[in-house]
Amino acid sequence: MTENNNFQDFQDLAKRETILFAKEHINDDPLELLLHKQRYPDVDIEFAVQQMEGLRTASEKWPSLLQYDDFLYPPRLNREQASSDETAFHKADIIQSLYSERRHQLSIADLTGGMGIDSIAFAKIPDTEVDYVECNAELCQLMEHNRSALGLSNITAHCGDSIEWLRNCKKKYNIIFIDPARRDTHGKKVAAFEDCTPNILEHKELLTEHCDFLMVKASPMMDIDKGIAQLSNVSDVYVVAVKGECKELLFLCGEQREEPLIHCQNIIPDACIYSNAPFTRSQEAQAEAVYCTSVGRYIYEPDASLMKGGPYKLLSDSWGLQKLARNTHLYTSDDFHEWRGRTFCVLNEVSLNKKAIAAFIPDGKAHVIVRNYPARAEELQRQLGLKEGGDLFVIATTVGTRKTGFICCEPENYQHFLAEINK
């Protein structure tokens, strides 16, 4: 399936008829529409399909856009690379907190505009002007249309290479936001700053001299400490997860600190943002974890933002939990603790062999979790003769120096499985 990237007559493509067609056919098979596009001579079917797929994605990723009848969606790759509502508005909240006591208009430059979701979130900060910069002319045309569709007259779109544009810019911004493209010339995903486009390490001086704060979005696969060292003037790092899945790293450069503060944040849509107390690497190094001699009734796994951010000893110290081993980032207690992550009830410790597992899981269905154990989850699952599924978990891990396994369930199922075991 192809998508139309040719905007020779953008005003014609943006006709209400095309948008209405997309909405009326939202549940149709896009491939069928493309194969029989001759049936619809007055509609640009390729562009209509692009809108249909955009609307479908919006219901999950950008629900805030669905209230705007005339919003137009870009091609698939640009949609895939765009921030979600949750992460875009979270960035805007961070920026607002930096200037919570401001008495002047806020100026923000988004140097990697793309679909424009971040620019839109920034523009909704009261009394803010946003410069959207994008080298793709088609995306700039879309932004020109969409800022009007959203009623955001405080976004100005600029088409061109962002680094060259900034080099010729006489303005100093409160915030420059940049999200370098994380694909190489062969389309392969990359994570390191030096492999992204633009390479911000080559342009650090230019970027920082044009703003009070530079906010850099990076892949969740990036090594945090390497990123801090490369950018050199980082004041804060935000590890951002949504519903337990790590989505992005944000490096904030500008304010001088002895050490960067690391914020581990998990966004639960329509609920709240869970955030740990910001910490430094020195605080983590100085913290005293308590290590268990045996595993209690509960095993706790940190959420993805905590696992990425790495306050491993601090979690033991602040939550009053025992750590399973120095390099095992699981925790335990006999009493239940509210927790940022997954909580499991231990039913039995078990030898990790097929016979022992079969005695506890006769139907052969369980989820296998591996933490600090010399095998991958998929490999161990095959070795144990298990199929994915059911309500039981096999956790393979290291306690102290001992490799072992635990049959576990979620707390709400504990009494049920305990009764089954005791039959």
- Give me the residue spans of the domains in the chain: 1-61, 80-275, 284-421
pLDDT value of position 11: 53
Q: What is the pLDDT of residues 112-151, one digit of tens each?
A: 999 999 999 999 999 999 999 999 999 999 999 999 999 9
Q: Say yes or no to pLDDT of 331 above 80.
A: yes
User: What average pLDDT does the segment 78-106 reach?
Assistant: 93
CATH entry 3.40.50.150 includes domain 80-275: yes
In this predicted structure, which of 194-208, 227-241, 264-278, 374-388 has the lowest mean pLDDT? 264-278
Q: What whole-number distance in Å separates Cα of residue 312 and Cα of residue 306?
A: 8
User: What average pLDDT does the segment 175-198 reach?
Assistant: 83
User: What average pLDDT does the segment 99-122 reach?
Assistant: 94
pTM reported for the whole predicted model: 0.91
Q: Say yes or no to pLDDT of 79 above 70.
A: yes
pLDDT value of position 206: 96
pLDDT value of position 72: 93
pLDDT value of position 14: 47
In this predicted structure, which of 111-125, 178-192, 245-259, 374-388 has the lowest mean pLDDT? 178-192
pLDDT value of position 38: 86
Q: What is the pLDDT of residues 159-184, one digit of tens each?
A: 999 999 999 998 999 999 999 988 76
User: What average pLDDT does the segment 37-62 reach?
Assistant: 91
Q: Say yes or no to pLDDT of 5 above 50.
A: no
